[in-house]
Amino acid sequence: IDRTMYDGYLVFPVAEIQARDGIIGSQVSARMNELRDRNNQGLMSYPQMVKEVVEIWADGLKGKSTDEVLRHTENYLRGEGDKFYFYVKGVIDLIRNTHDVFFITGGTQFTAEATSRIYSATGYFSSEFEVENGLFTGKVTRILSAGGHKLKVLSKLIEEHNMEKSLAFGDTESDRDMLDVVDFPICINPNPVLKKYAEEKEWPM
């Protein structure tokens, strides 16, 4: 989703709007933004940034209703937070004619589910915050950014689908394993690490 469909990393504006509306503390969003800046400055890898960001965010949402957070996220992304690239709807509508569409993201389940609802995707795989009795516990049960994690969840799709003419879209090195196993890997806004790999593979960018 981030930087392939959405202009930026979706987790940060969603966290900022949660802080503005009192769902999380302002210090949670501020700390997340510090980690983003370290990644932008080359001081922290993308997978490490995602790991620390989701851990901080999960702790900040402890005790909050999952339904409330999902509703708040979807309303934001359908309104003032709609920064999806102009081509996304048309591309997804076209692909949906012949393919199932899944979002595989290092973002959280509520950002992924909200995006899936907006674009009527078949499903999604994401980082997961633990939930008990409809409330976030403050713990993370899965972080979908480190090497191999996306390929692990993708293996479920490979078992269930014909992979002929399969496509994948990605922008960072955490997408590399996923891009390697499809017929048509496509890099959108690739970061320097993925760009170098894509040039070696002669993948379209």
pLDDT in tens, the chain (205 residues): 999 999 988 999 999 999 999 999 999 999 999 999 998 898 988 778 888 999 999 999 999 999 999 999 999 999 999 999 999 999 999 999 999 999 998 889 999 999 999 999 999 999 999 999 999 999 999 888 765 677 788 888 888 888 899 999 999 888 888 899 899 999 999 999 999 999 999 999 9
Q: Check if the beta carbon of residue 164 is closer than 8 Å to that of residue 183.
A: yes
Residue 47 token pair: 């997978």
Q: Check if the beta carbon of residue 70 is closer than 8 Å to that of residue 113.
A: yes
CA 139 from chain centre, in angstroms, equals 18
Tokens 């990605």 appear where? Answer: 170
- pLDDT value of position 148: 60
Rg of the chain (C-alpha set): 17
Measured CA distances, 163 to 81, 149, 167 (Å) = 34, 19, 9
Q: Check if the beta carbon of residue 140 is closer than 8 Å to that of residue 130.
A: yes
- pLDDT value of position 51: 87
Measured CA distances, 11 to 24, 29, 40, 84, 155 (Å) = 13, 10, 15, 13, 25
**This prediction's pTM:** 0.90
- Phi then psi dihedrals of residue 122, to 5 deg: -65, -35
